[in-house]
Structure 1
């Protein structure tokens, strides 16, 4: 038996000669361009083989590709061609390929494959990836696929699907390295070598008590650098972050970001260890949530080019209709001052400038506020401090822009017109700044997603106030009659 307290000379590794650094073989080959994207002519060759029904040629073309490239190829093809491709390269449709697919494309592919084929792919996946694969399918398809799974996988998937979408229970990995607290470091190492499932990545070992409650964690570097006789309870970290199974994925991501976590234990309602979240899952969540919020601000729905047309239409048109309604308010204000606009053409020329600049100012503040709310930087405890900050920024911005547009209007039209538009510009930018921060805050207080509808209401406020302030001041200044 090897003495772990000393190093054997035979285990010493001599300095190996440096390997020649070569670029990725996939770049700029017959299938990839210099930016490592699949070449159009290669994609065309695959489509031609599919059209000809030559499955052998399709397989030969696709077989050399990396799983991520196969996923890219599938997404580049039309919906009908995707099903044909899946049938031609069944054994190449591995879990690595499926994990790389866009959500909408993955759903199409799973519907095109037989339940037993999908079950075979699911068996290769981590539980969280398997759940992501199945959760968007129809209930009948889910049941058919789950029935084909091994009992252990079946139980894990059904358990995960019982939790609400986008919660830790859905996303957690159930493969957890957990050991009882009475072990020593040597016991742990022997357990990992003999009985531990080392086919799954893990960053730390969770130490649990008799009731399966996590009581501490042992980082792998601690285990490898500590004498065998030391008890785990003497080296484990007792202060750990525990994630409830029902916690929303966005809150989980914020916890990982705030506490710089690599992994964290997931516990059920009784505090028992049921899984873990790892940083690779969190990177995906952060990317997904950031993109989602940006698209919601524009009212573009999922904003996915693979999203079905009916879903894209439904998600976008309702916000366009809402925007149409708010635009009517601005138009009504313009109509109210119609006589003044008819008498003084300069009002019609300058009016869009006031509304446009105000809209941009509101959008800037709104984007900052929505992000701050999403990252817990803007909370109930500092709301008014942030409002006061944005008010001061708006006043400075308004004054700067007002001076510039006021001078230009005074030179091109009249000095009074310069004063009117300058004052209107300050008023609108200040109102835009306040709307940009208060509208998202109000939506958040009402338990609504501030990214969903804030832009519609902020646009309505800035347009309406811009027109009202400019045209109203012009009438009060005697530049044009009200009627």
Structure 2
């Protein structure tokens, strides 16, 4: 093993971007590697004192991702002052790591030439994220300040729909013809005069004369293969190709299913135009998972940096929709007014039936939406999934019905009331299980996102049916007249 002291600075372990190996348990980070409150407070106090030198000294040792975290942790009013104090530390890496809302606010405050300079430091996919949310006039002003090659790459990416592989892919990749030998490829990669090769890559794409991918070679294979061997003899011909129009959720599923590190992106004619890499997909998977949860709850983007007006607009629509569906349950109750008046215990117990049914429906709904998002649930296994959830609902319903039936019979001293609520609970949980599967499946068949509106319909079903079954059984059983 080589002596650490003989290694160049950029290869020494324990150092990153000039930072010593004290990232954990230092004066800036806590044990979970988050910026300490005391450190953030020190930066803000220096800003308030107008001591830009002190601010710079505090921030300079941070990794770009930590600088981005610092911007998100300080108040919105402090961010312009912080940016002014550490201008030359605002690298493209920092901007790329910023929360979308924080970044958009900062970019809007910067002149076009500054934004263009930052964008030119970034990979194309990161530069696109920086520019895509600007309004048309600001976007045009920034692009006008960029170098022609960079501008053309970004304009090409912006031509694809949002959240597609064409918009998200990296245009920096290595592609070589299949007539090369391993030695030719190594010499090609080591040619120091070439300035068009990406800094980081994991595999080399082999293309035919029409620039269509015919295979791929991992760097580990190339390094272990004799120089005289032809690439055509060592490359892997079976590869996963991603269409430029593929949705980012589909891309994430492909990487997860086939355990990919990187994959070629091809246009409509099959030509190689870019690549997706695992670091891009990690963000996609995280974003999609969080997005589905937030859509189910109606919480909008669910970001604490989201403007209040945007959060209000997103959430109030959901609440108004819930208000409309809740009126269905209220209508059902109004039909049994006289029944409830005869036995107050019914009014006391109704929310239990509806509430437990709603929880059961939410459980099934969450499982179904996730299965749809990850392609686990398809037309081939729909009815098996329905039978599975029905079986689970019957078991859950029987268990809960037995518990609530015995408890109500003992507490109220009325065995028939216990039997009625037990039967109503079993029925409503079964209904909830069926609705939790069929509602999102139906919405998907209709072309709607099942994560957006499924919970409204499932909740309406479990509430209204819970009340109807419980009060209807009370009447049918002769419990009330």
Q: TM-score range by the shorter chain?
A: over 0.9
Deviates more, 1:304-313 or 1:34-43: 34-43
> In the alignment, which of 47, 59, 62 is matched to residue 50 of structure 1?
47
**Which moves more between the two structures, 245-254 or 63-72?**
63-72
Q: Could you tell me how far apart the structure 2 residues matched to 1:138 and 1:94 are? A: 23
C-alpha distance in 2 between matches for 1:66 and 1:176? 26
State the secondary structure of the residue aligned to 1:218. strand
Residue matched to 1:275: 274
Matched, 1:27 2:24: yes
164, 184, 193: which one pairs with 2:190?
193
Equivalent position to 1:145, from 134, 142, 145? 142
Asked if 1:106 corresponds to 2:103, the answer is yes
Quote the residue 1:62 is aligned against: 59
Task: Work out the CA distance in 1 between the residues paired with 2:4 and 2:254.
Answer: 42
Are the equivalent residues in 2 in contact too, given 1:86–1:93 (CA < 8 A)? yes
Specify whether residues 380 and 137 from structure 1 end up closer, same or farther in structure 2 by C-alpha distance, changes over 3 A only.
Answer: same
Q: Secondary structure at the match of 1:65?
A: coil
In the alignment, the residues of structure 2 paired with residue 260 and residue 34 of structure 1 have an alpha-carbon distance, to the nearest angstrom, of 32
Q: Which moved more, 1:22-31 or 1:162-171?
A: 22-31
CA–CA separation in structure 2 for the residues paired with 1:258 and 1:30: 42
In the alignment, the residues of structure 2 paired with residue 193 and residue 212 of structure 1 have an alpha-carbon distance, to the nearest angstrom, of 22
Instruction: Confirm or deny that 1:93 pairs with 2:90.
Output: yes
SS of the aligned residue for 1:274 comes to: strand
Quote the offset at 1:111 in angstroms: 1.2
Question: What is the TM-score normalised by the length of structure 2?
Answer: 0.94
Alpha-carbon distance in 2 for matches of 1:306, 1:349: 41
Q: Superposition pairs for residues 281-300 of structure 1, below 5 Å?
A: 281-300=280-299
1:120-173 deviation line (CA, Å, top 9, x unaligned): 211111111111111111222211111121111111111001100000001100
Does structure 1 retain, via aligned residues, the 8 Å contact 2:14–2:21? no
For 1:64-463, list aligned pairs within 5 A.
64-194=61-191, 195=194, 197=196, 199-413=198-412, 414-463=414-463
SS in 2 for 1:207: strand
Give ranges in structure 1 of 5+ residues lacking alignment.
Answer: 1-12
Quick check: 2:172–2:197 contact (8 Å CA) kept in 1? Answer: no
Q: Aligned partners of 1:20, 1:373: CA distance in 2, in Å?
A: 43
- Cα distance, 1:182 vs structure 2: 1.1
State the Cα distance separating 1:20 from its structure 2 match.
11
Change in 2 beyond 3 A, CA 1:118/1:376: same
Structure 1 residue 52: deviation in Å? 3.5
- 1: distance between equivalents of 2:56 and 2:14? 31
Alpha-carbon separation, structure 2, partners of 1:404 and 1:326: 30
How far did residue 66 of structure 1 move?
1.8
Q: What is the alpha-carbon root mean square deviation over aligned residues?
A: 1.9
Contact kept? 2:441, 2:450, Cα under 8 Å: yes
Give the count of matched residue pairs.
468
Distance in 1 (CA, whole Å) between partners of 2:218 and 2:33 is 37
User: How much has 1:197 moved relative to structure 2?
Assistant: 4.6
Quote the offset at 1:28 in angstroms.
3.3
My pick for the range that moved more, 448-457 or 52-61, is 52-61
* Further displaced range: 33-42 or 330-339: 33-42
Contact 1:369–1:436 (CA under 8 A) maintained in structure 2: yes
Q: What's the counterpart of residue 477 of structure 2?
A: 477
Once the two structures are superposed, residues 390-427 of structure 1 have per-residue CA deviations (whole angstroms, 9 ceiling, x without a partner) of 11111111111111111111112211111111110111
